[in-house]
Amino acid sequence: MSNLFGNKIAAALLASALGFIGINKIASSAMKVDTPASPAYSLAVEETTGHDKPVEQAFPSDLWIASMDVTKGAKVFKKCTSCHNAEDGGKNGTGPALWNIVGRAQGGTSGFSYSTNMTALGGTWGYEELDTFLKKPSAYVPKTKMAFIGLKKEKDRAALIEFLRLRADAPLAPLTQAAPMPGAQEHAQEMPTLETPSEEHAPKAPTEEHAPAEHAPVKDGGH
């Protein structure tokens, strides 16, 4: 009896093992996915080089106009007080006096010794000239005596220039809108204009007298 019982147990274990192996093979076959040699479709991805530059708005930008804050400009000017005086009748210091600076000739402060390059500039300190200079003085005037690194933020430059604009005997009118993009005026001139035809040349609607017979109204005989 013991041998027969042992054989039954061994047969049961063997059958279980074979069944487990068979189930694994069936499951593997069911889950196997045939991958095609080439995909059925592909997605085109546009590559970007990273070299595209943002389009800059012509001076002054909307942000520049919105940042013309004299109160903030007075705070920004504190960075300049070690070299400049912006009071009426103020004297030159390490830098020239800045009363009446907006609209004044570049390198035109009497009694101040400018660098050769500054003297050779010519022109006047308009809004755009001041903005460009304050952004990076050494780039605007090579070898300038002004050691200031510049104001990187557009909002700070706009506020400072607005402060300086009012430090004058007769302040210039403030800027109120952005300048048109270069070429915009030429493009506008090239655009054709649509003229409204005059009454003399406008097509006239046919009158009843000259209307074609087939379009004349037909009387219904009183019905």
Contact 94, 83 (CB under 8 A): yes
pLDDT band at residue 58 using 50, 70 and 90 as cut-offs: confident
CA distance 36 to 20: 31
Contact 73, 134 (CB under 8 A): no
pLDDT digit string, tens, across residues 155-189: 999 999 999 999 999 999 998 875 444 444 443 44
Contact 162, 73 (CB under 8 A): yes
Structure tokens belonging to residue 158? 């706009």
* Amino acid in the structure at residue 165: R
Show Cβ contacts of residue 138 under 8 Å, excluding neighbours closer than 6 positions.
144, 146, 150
pLDDT tops 70 at residue 3: no
Contact 131, 73 (CB under 8 A): no
* Amino acid in the structure at residue 206: P
**Mapping DSSP to helix (H, G, I), strand (E, B) and coil, where does residue 134 land?**
helix
Mean pLDDT along residues 196-217: 48
Domains and CATH numbers, the chain: 62-165 (1.10.760.10)
The answer to pTM > 0.75 is no
pLDDT digit string, tens, across residues 116-153: 999 999 999 999 999 999 999 999 999 998 989 999 99
Residue 105: φ, ψ to 5°:
-65, 140
CA distance 85 to 70: 16
Residue 194 pLDDT = 43
